A and B are shown apart, each in its own frame.
Chain A
Amino acid sequence: MSAHGRNGRARAGIVCALATLVALGGCRGDSQDVRGAAVGDRTLPQQQTKVVLAADTTGLPNEGALAHVAIGDLAGIGNNTLDAKVANPYANDMAAIKAGHELFVNMNCAACHGYDLKGGMGPDLTDTYWRYGGSPADIYKSIFEGRPEGMPAWGRSIPPEYIWKIVAYIQAKGGAYPAALADRGRQGDLGDDDTTSGSTLKGRNNVH
């Protein structure tokens, strides 16, 4: 129905919001999807650190060691490419957060997780409940690798620096815990002051 006088402006369903992504294959014609872009040598961010186990005198791994294996890897998804305690190089960078917000909308993250990040088809990203870990590096890995219940693997089409900017946006919305608290977050021991949202932590004060 042309009742609205839209004089035939056909956008063909494609909105290439970021020219950089066009070049990188993140935004394509409608006969293709986002998969299949070459990942090449940018699979690992340079911040990757090596997991080093503490000296073992008991024959058992020390308490922190198991936590170095990301939860997603225990579930059998992806490779252990990133230490959960790596900090986001773009955390608190206002320009990066703004870019992350734009990516969050334009790559359709908002359609699943909500324009307010409160969830919908996909999980709420503003609380402290993270199935695959909620440290910045955990979130990076979930975006990069995808997750079994429908989360696409964006590492195939979004370069690492842009993924880190999306993570910075999520951090800015309160839905993450600091890298240094990765172990505590996984074990359910976050306290009121440990995240910016604090929404699900009322009355908890887990002083270690």
Chain B
Amino acid sequence: MMRPAALHAPSRALVLASIVLLAACGTRDYQGRTASAATVATASGAVDGELAAPAVAARGAAWLPPNAGDGDWLMPSRDYGGTRYSPLTEITTANAGQLQLAWTFDDGESHYGHEMTPLVANNTMYIVSPFPNRAFAIDLTKPGGQLKWTFEPNPSPIAIGKACCDAVNRGAALYEGKLIYNLLDDHTVAVDAATGKELWRTKLANVEDGTTMTMAPMVVDGKVYVGNSGGEMGVAGWLAALDANTGKVLWHAYSVGPDTLVRIDSQFKPFYSWMRGKDLGVRTWPANSWKHGAGAVWGWVTYDPDLKQIFYGTSNTGPWNADQRPGLNLWTSGVFARNASDGMARWAYVFTPHNEWDYDGVNENVLVDLPMGGQTRKVMVQFNRNGFAYTIDRLTGEVLVAKPFGHENWATGIDPKTAMPIVVPEKHTVPAGRWVRDICPADIGVKDFEPVAFSPKTALFYVPVQNVCMDYKGREVGFIAGTPYWGAQMTRHTGPGGHPGSFIAFDAATGTKRWEIPEDFLVYSGALATAGDVVFYGTVEGWFRAVDARTGKILWSRKLGSGIISAPMAYRGPDGHEYVAVAAGVGGGAMTQASQKGFPARGSTYYVFALGQNIPAASSPSAPGGTGAEPKKEGGKP
């Protein structure tokens, strides 16, 4: 892999600052511009000069799959720890304002939302579309990117109507020459990354029963980890491990049911006593109702190669109407730590026991080592739908910090002894059958699946935040396979302050917000952090922004063709330069705001940006600064 010309700002004065100092600087929230006025904002009151955090042993960012170059991106989060941090440094806070459009690609599936992240390896970009889940390989060595192959899996259209929240897909994983991803109709496929030929396809469930699959697999050490969707369809959630070479199913670990199904044995040591006991996945439910209790596994899987454990969250409890399922309803709306090899559970923690509000626990669990209280703690950090950011000891499952990272009013806090939420009495939705007003957040959470990024240089998390509340009424519902097992009616409204979204920097060691950029639309995109100290995110209106990782100053914005609900990524092109790619195709849970004035139409385009001076002349023959590349007369191609 070629190395780029070093573009580190020579004048950068690295001032070592302690976490304490950073915290003091961060008490001022950034008065960011909103989308309507945003081009380049000046950060009044922002920190002058540059600060560097102490070298954080951010293991997560360093845990890369074998043979991953620094310009590659082999899985949606880039690294096993889930940081979405790129070590590329060409795009900096000094030059991000010169970003220009390099090329675009359209997958043609604008009917459905685009929640995936492109992958790059071997000078090839890989993209998976929403239903019908076509895969594309794009040759980056050709001007403007040339389509190398297209794979058409032709999944069953029945799946469209079984997906609660749009026929989306959250991406693929590259592993030993295979592109591995899930089809909406409950199959996992492996495709030869070189040729686009199908290598294997494994059926995981019957789509007619209401199960779909939307999550991106995690592939580690010959195993493919996949989970189901269908939290609104009365499924029982599971994570399955498949053999990466053959597609053979090795084991299933359920989120509900007896210990044998949940893969719980004597190794299982939850930190809190209310999660200890036999068969709690059955005994915390009314008779047999765990069978339709959801705990679907539709979010992200992360992996700690030292512990050889995987971490993933479980979805909402089913049905939403909690009146029909008195009990703690374990292990839904929580997180599992499991042995990667055999799937046996090591610990679990349930964020929202007896979930009455659809606060899924599926958000990404980012694995980092943070300096806390004078020592370095191995933690996992989850920004939960319920509005609390949890910093959890990933060895034991002990909750170290649990603080709100956006507006919530359903709980006054998390009990430090039991780690249970302290629920505000008026916000209980049981008994059902009556409207409960102004519960914050709404079902879509203070943050949904859209993933955060973490920079080991700043030791900060970069977090998309939603400010949407709901009026909610539980409704009695019966189970009929293949139809929703939902049991709720609701209306949503923007929360206090009038901004439905914002983008924040958050210190998970202390549970404090450092800066915030308010937005006039939902922020429902993932984030990207880079070693150039530039962080990227997008809005549902379609603004794609580059911001200073330390101050929150908006360095650059570009309005794309549709709303952004995917997560951006960065790669090094064959020319050695840094590129940033993101999909614009609004859909999914963002459609809950579709009646907002100015809400964009759907789309299906990937946009790739680079510094203007680096965009090959061949892609833009008339661009100033073009070097050489005379257009040939014959054929009309440059």
Residue numbers of A with Cβ under 8 A of B are 1-4, 6-17, 27, 30, 32-35, 105-109, 111-112, 115, 121-122, 147-152
Contact = CB atoms under 8 A, between A and B. Distances in A.
B291 interface: yes
A1 B333 CA distance: 13
B526 interface: no
B287 A108 contact: no
Contact of B288 (A12, A16, A33, A122): A12
Contact of B159 (A7, A14, A150): A150
Given A3-B354, A34-B480, A10 B286 contact: yes
Interface string B148-172: 0000000001111111110000000
B366 to A, nearest CB: 28
Contact of B478 (A27, A151, A152): A27
Interface of B: 157-165, 208-209, 232, 234, 286-289, 291-292, 319, 322-324, 326-329, 353-354, 423, 428, 430-431, 475-487, 489
Contacts of B286: 8-12
Contacts of A27: 478, 480
Nearest to B479: A13
A112 B478 contact: no
B488 to A, nearest CB: 9
29 contacts: A1-B327, A3-B354, A4-B428, A4-B430, A10-B286, A11-B286, A11-B289, A12-B287, A13-B324, A13-B479, A14-B478, A15-B476, A15-B478, A17-B478, A30-B292, A30-B479, A35-B208, A111-B483, A112-B161, A121-B164, A121-B484, A122-B161, A149-B160, A149-B161, A150-B157, A150-B158, A150-B160, A150-B162, A152-B483
Given A10-B286, A13-B479, A108 B430 contact: no
A17 B478 CA distance: 9
Contact of B354 (A1, A17, A34, A150): A1
Contacts of B428: 4
A148 B319 CA distance: 25
Nearest to B490: A115
B326 A4 contact: yes
A2 B354 CA distance: 9
B628 to A, nearest CB: 51
Contacts of B326: 1-2, 4, 6-10
Contacts of B353: 1
Contacts of B160: 149-150
B349 to A, nearest CB: 15
Nearest to B156: A148
Contacts of B164: 121
A113 to B, nearest CB: 10
A33 B482 contact: yes
Contacts of B482: 33-35, 152
Nearest to A115: B489
Consensus secondary structure, chain B interface: loop
A30 B161 contact: no
Closest 9 A/B residue pairs (Cβ): A150-B161, A10-B286, A33-B481, A111-B484, A6-B326, A15-B478, A108-B483, A1-B354, A149-B160
A149 B478 contact: no
Given A34-B480, A148-B157, A12 B289 contact: yes
Nearest to B162: A150
Nearest to A107: B480
Contact of B289 (A13, A32, A107, A147): A13
Pick the most buried of B209, B328, B428, B480: most chain A CB atoms within 10 A of its CB.
Answer: B480
Nearest to B291: A30
Consensus secondary structure, chain A interface: loop
A65 B34 CA distance: 57
Nearest to A109: B483
Contacts of A107: 480, 483
A149 B157 contact: yes
Nearest to A34: B480
Contacts of A30: 288, 291-292, 479
Contacts of A35: 208, 481-482
Contacts of B323: 6
Given A17-B478, A112-B483, A121 B327 contact: no
A2 B286 CA distance: 11
Pick the most buried of B326, B481, B489: most chain A CB atoms within 10 A of its CB.
Answer: B326
Nearest to B356: A4
Contacts of B431: 4
Nearest to B423: A3
Pick the most buried of B322, B323, B324, B487: most chain A CB atoms within 10 A of its CB.
Answer: B324
A2 B292 CA distance: 19
A55 B71 CA distance: 72
Nearest to B354: A1
Nearest to A5: B326
A147 B162 CA distance: 12
B281 to A, nearest CB: 15
Contacts of A111: 232, 477, 483-487
Nearest to B159: A150
Contacts of A112: 161, 483-484
B328 A1 contact: yes
Contacts of A149: 157-158, 160-161
B165 to A, nearest CB: 8
A202 to B, nearest CB: 18
Contacts of B480: 27, 33-34, 107-108
Pick the most buried of A10, A32, A105, A108: most chain B CB atoms within 10 A of its CB.
Answer: A108
Nearest to B489: A115
Nearest to A147: B161
A15 B329 CA distance: 20
Contacts of A9: 286, 326
